[in-house]
Chain A
Amino acid sequence: MKLTIDRAALLKSLAHVQSVVERRNTIPILSNILIEAQDGDSVSLTATDMDLDMVDRVTCSVSVPGSVTAPAHTLYDIVRKLPDGASVELTSEPEKERVTVRAGRSTFTLPSLPTADFPSLASDDLPFNFTLSSAELKALIDRTSFAISTEETRYYLNGIYLHATQQPSGPVMRGVATDGHRLARVELPLPKGAEGIPGVIMPRKVVLELRKLLDESDGAVTIGLSETRIRLAFGAIILSSKLIDGTFPDYERVIPTGNDKVLELNRNSFAEAVDRVATISTEKSRAVKIALGTNGLTLTAHSPEAGSALEELEVSYTSSPFEIGFNSRYLLDILKQVQGDVAQFIMADAASPTVVRDRADGSAIYVLMPMRV
């Protein structure tokens, strides 16, 4: 294999794929990336940690097609240190098991492992294929990912549950995440091709990796899905991963429908007040108390060591007065995702789950378990 590639393009692509490669690897081939140059003018770089793999395609000029593996982090470090605007030449010498990197007057010779050692990626066609815009996917991830559980014993909560369902307004695709204390549910109109998709749980690792890449992308994302795999293609990148092998709990059961105490407040001023008052609450519980009365809302926090805080807010509330406590961090996480000015809290009593939503936008709802304070 022999190819010449612009340093900036190679660096950008390496920066993407090398993030999949783990720093410490007991299996040598996994610290390598696979570089494949077919006939034509592009090269694909592949990296995997055996759960998740990423392929990025870059334009270059290929003089001899072929493929080779190279140590991911070393190659990335080299290309990073090369001067801007340099043109990089990659040459493989399979018989000597090495790969040469040349740029200007620098030459590097790196060890290379046989390409056959590289884990083969499942390339079979996935039964379901549909397209989401990158903004839709971004919103779906942002509004749910904060609620993903990190608890390993409940591994089936360690991701975003993606499924299709029927709503009065028509068929929708839903993303749901929960950690047992809070739950986030986001709906999108069901894209074409996603009818009848299996409910899948997208692992946290893919979610994070995907979110990073979406910042740089603004086109459409093509999603391929089967019961055991998800593949996301956007721009020149294809990200593909195993899924969580488990059953997501029946979350509908925990979303209350009979709550009657409706509180409406300005999202911004409430978030700021919660943040201020929470300074006092203990590091561990982060609890804040909300007292609702006819003349407004009182936010308080007490801590045996740090003292106490109180702040009053004007809100719209007409039901009977009562008190309820929340974890301030959970409140802020949710308020951050409410896009409109007015957030709606729909409550029952101090011990039952509260529903939070954006008054202007019904596509996302959040459920929050109160704290006893």
Chain B
Amino acid sequence: MRPARETLTLIGHGANERLVSDALSGNRVPQAWLLAGPPGVGKATFAYRMARFLLTGGGAAAGPSLFGDSAPITSLAVNEDHPAVRQIAVGSHPDLLVIEREMDEKRDKMKAAISVDQVREISQFLHLTASQGGWRVVLIDSADEMNVNAANALLKILEEPPKRALLLLVSHTPGRLLPTIRSRCRLLRFAPLLPEEVRIAAEAVLEGEPLDPIALTLSDGAPGRALALADPDTRSVLTDLLALFRQAPKCDPAAVHGFAEKLGKAAADAQYRSFVTQFDAWLMRVIRHSARNGRVPNDLPGEAEAAEAVLRAAGSLDRLIEVWEKNTQLFRQTDGLNLDRKQAVLSALLPLTQRL
């Protein structure tokens, strides 16, 4: 999958692009932006687009005009041949600092959170002048992953950013950020895209290959999610899950354990992540359709049957919603507290695969 830092085209989010363009033209640029919306919808792609625009000299090129009304900025598109575009893509632009979760080399996996030391790098970065003399951009992807200390350290920076510095915070769940962080940022909401836009955006990344319709169905308007679902390595997780659910409420305990065992392995990180997303997306879909008193359409092979079985196992729609909420919480805790993944998967599946 192509990372956001390399994606030059933006599909949808036209209103946000206009909003940012206007802010930049008006010479009153908010120094901190909170880009909020569901995962995979294009927030990071948009953030990189803003960074690229500013770091290629956009917004300041013409300078003020005689009449104080320099031509307004209408698009954040940049010249693709500008050397900065390439440097931003490989992370070597001296005026862009990207803060992401780091690799824990001792354990050979991604760290669970963005640490306070990483956030302190931001102040060091902003205490030096810009290498090219223009803007300095800091991108935090995602702000949700900061631990408490990191969030507090960031607050200090947000209070008094230096001139010509821009902070871009990507957040999937802005409601869970510190209210003091939220209040210091200009909010930019990212709504789900239309199915057609998702298809165009995803196929641009797949380089002409058609997008799997199943992935499109489950994408919830987020191209990133559609691409994750279309990944052949993780596709089988959903197929396996549906096969398991079709046996509900009399699933073979050995099969459930086997499924959880597989996802709990340290090497199966991608599969586990994709399970969490897909499980959540699919349950949401069952709940949504059932709530409308309809049957779940058979968009995925054997889906309708599996949905019925899961509802039967849960007992009622109310119970299913409860289970779904509980599971969202459970997976969050599993990440936050570093709990055993196999047990988490088992606890999530138990109320849906067995009548207790």
Which residues of A line the B interface, CB within 8 A? 26-30, 48, 50-51, 113, 116-120, 122, 124, 152, 155-156, 158, 203, 226-229, 242-246
Contacts and interface: CB of A to CB of B under 8 A. Distances in A.
B252 interface: no
Contacts of B123: 152, 155
B124 interface: yes
A229 B133 contact: yes
B83 interface: yes
Nearest to A243: B129
A226 B133 contact: yes
Contacts of B129: 227-229, 242-245
Contact of A50 (B90, B94, B120): B94
A156 B128 CA distance: 9
A229 B94 CA distance: 13
A51 B94 contact: yes
B162 interface: yes
Given A48-B94, A245-B126, 14 more contacts: A26-B91, A27-B91, A27-B92, A29-B90, A50-B92, A113-B90, A117-B86, A117-B90, A117-B92, A118-B92, A120-B84, A152-B124, A244-B129, A245-B129
11 contacts: A27-B91, A29-B92, A51-B94, A113-B90, A117-B87, A117-B90, A117-B92, A155-B127, A229-B131, A229-B133, A242-B94
Nearest to B127: A155
Contacts of B239: none
A331 B86 CA distance: 52
B173 interface: no
B88 to A, nearest CB: 11
Nearest to B95: A50
A120 B87 contact: yes
B116 interface: no
B93 interface: yes
Contacts of A246: 127
A117 B91 CA distance: 8
B102 interface: yes
A206 B87 CA distance: 24
Interface residues of B, number: 23
A245 B127 contact: yes
A144 to B, nearest CB: 20
Contacts of B92: 27, 29-30, 50, 117-119
A242 B130 contact: yes
B132 interface: yes
Nearest to A26: B102
B337 to A, nearest CB: 26
A17 B19 CA distance: 45
* From A156, A228, A242, residue with most partner B Cβ within 10 Å: A242
Nearest to B129: A228
The 10 closest A-B pairs by CB, nearest first: A228-B129, A242-B128, A155-B127, A50-B94, A27-B91, A117-B90, A119-B92, A245-B129, A243-B129, A228-B133
B86 A244 contact: no
B127 A119 contact: no
Contacts of B93: 119
Given A116-B83, A245-B127, A122 B132 contact: yes
Nearest to A240: B131
A243 B127 CA distance: 9
A310 to B, nearest CB: 45
Given A116-B83, A117-B86, A120-B87, A228 B94 contact: no
Contacts of A29: 90-92
Contacts of A26: 91, 102-103
Nearest to B90: A117
B98 to A, nearest CB: 9
Nearest to A245: B129
B131 A122 contact: yes
Contact of A228 (B84, B87, B91, B130): B130
Interface in B119-148: 120, 123-124, 126-133
Contacts of A120: 83-84, 87
A247 to B, nearest CB: 11
Contact of B94 (A117, A119, A158, A203): A119
Nearest to B130: A228
Contacts of B87: 117, 119-120
Nearest to A27: B91
Contacts of B91: 26-27, 29
A26 B104 CA distance: 12
A150 B28 CA distance: 35
A122 B131 CA distance: 7
A205 to B, nearest CB: 10
B232 to A, nearest CB: 27
A244 B128 contact: yes
A51, A203, A227 — most chain B CB neighbours (10 Å): A51
A245 B86 CA distance: 27
B5 to A, nearest CB: 11
A242 B126 CA distance: 11
A138 B206 CA distance: 58
A50 B124 CA distance: 12
Interface in B240-260: none
Interface in B80-122: 83-84, 86-87, 90-94, 102-103, 120
Contacts of A113: 90
B166 to A, nearest CB: 14
Interface string B2-16: 000000000000000
Given A116-B83, A152-B124, A242 B90 contact: no
Contacts of A119: 87, 92-94, 131
Contacts of B102: 26
Contacts of B126: 245
B124 to A, nearest CB: 7
Nearest to A24: B105
A27 B131 CA distance: 17
A30 B90 CA distance: 10
A117 B89 CA distance: 8
Contacts of A226: 133
A118 B84 CA distance: 10
A176 to B, nearest CB: 18
A212 B127 CA distance: 24
Contacts of A27: 90-92
B115 to A, nearest CB: 14
Nearest to B132: A122
A246 B129 CA distance: 9
A55 to B, nearest CB: 15
A143 B284 CA distance: 69
